[in-house]
Amino acid sequence: MEQAAKQALAIYETICATSADRPLAFQCAEQMWQELADWCAGNTGLTQLRQASPEVHTAFLGQSVEWLNAESRGHSNFRVTSTLVEAVQYAIQAAPKPLSTELVLTLLTELRKNTITRFYFPFDLLLAVLTRDQVTEEIRSELRQLHLQYAPSPTGKIDERTLQTRNRLAELMRIEGEAPIDPGRGPWSQIVFTEIGNKDAITRAGWEGLLDHCRTLEQTVPGTKWRKRAQELTLALAESEVGQTLERWLALGPTPGQPAGARSPIEDSSYQKGVVWCAALCGGPERARAIGDFAIACLRKIPMLGAVSQKVGFACVQALGTMESNEAISQWRAYEPRSSTQSH
């Protein structure tokens, strides 16, 4: 294997040394594809890779992220980077299958940490050659963290290619027999709706009505009409029971069962703002503490992504400010200055 690694390194160095004349300017797409195909067919480094043994293909793939990271830094070696991408594509296709567990884990870990390099790396091709049989718990952990990086924006926007990658990651990391999340639900709302689904028909209808109303709250602070309707729906279900139930749902946190880097998806946050305000309308120190803890979880920062759920976190702060209890005041004072600063 040491010899294969040396040959892979020699091929990489040849690619670096022979990519200076890679064509870049074209009159049309047809000319581009033809000239690039001709150039790649004659490039010494790519030819050496095509003629190499399967062991060399595997060794080349194992070092590919490190090499791409080095050459793409600062976009200074675009020609070399482009040729390396084609070499990696070939190595993925030519390396013996299934790829070893160690190799897959190494690649996924490096690509998770190097988001810019992943932009160049043929990541979708790598995912395409993986099978669910290859997924160990360590690999599944990496897939889950990568899946979070392909999440929709807090408003639910996601482009088609990103969605396809995210769906493939979800397919690979799924555990056999694990119940899938229902369409239109997130991890939090799935738990909530599963719970009310076990209630009698009349009670279930009442809860569904309240949650539907919660979802209509678009702004951070509800108007008088929204509050009045929320109180009517709460009273119809029994206010004390509603307060305790909402307190329990808030105790789940905004992203129950998810890795630390998860943000609250729109499928959950669209309900959570209203639930927070309904809990505040129920009043009581227990609800104030629950809202305060939920605020902490929502406003926690995720590196390079922002808060877990900024709008819901701000709704918590505003809701605490309307509650008439010493507990609510102490919770509000802990967050109000910070939220005011962040919202400007």
Give the number of other CB atoms < 10 A from CB of residue 227. 17
Same domain for 23 and 167? yes
Same domain for 55 and 200? no
Same domain for 47 and 158? yes
Same domain for 150 and 195? no
Same domain for 203 and 160? no
- Quick: pLDDT tens for 300-340: 998 878 899 999 999 999 998 888 655 544 554 555 544 44
Q: How many domains does the chain have?
A: 2
- pLDDT at residue 343 tops 50: no
**CA within 13 Å, CB half, 201:** 0
Query: What phi and psi values does residue 177 have, to the nearest 5 degrees?
Result: 90, -10
Is residue 182 in a domain?
Answer: no
Same domain for 146 and 268? no
Same domain for 104 and 130? yes
Q: 49-53, 89-93, 269-273, 321-325: which has the minimum mean pLDDT?
A: 321-325
Is residue 178 in a domain?
Answer: no
Same domain for 15 and 114? yes
Q: What domain range is 163 assigned to?
A: 2-173
Is residue 248 in a domain?
Answer: yes
Is residue 36 in a domain?
Answer: yes
- Quick: pLDDT tens for 288-302: 999 999 999 999 998
DSSP 13: H
How confident is residue 11, by pLDDT bands cut at 50, 70 and 90? very high
Is residue 283 in a domain?
Answer: yes
Q: At a CB cut-off of 8 Å and minimum separation 6, what does 322 contact?
A: 280
Which residue, among 67, 29, 65, 26, has the nearest Cα to 45 in the 3D structure? 67
82 in helix, strand or coil?
Answer: helix
Is residue 93 in a domain?
Answer: yes
Same domain for 158 and 213? no
Tokens 């998810």 belong to residue: 258
Same domain for 155 and 253? no
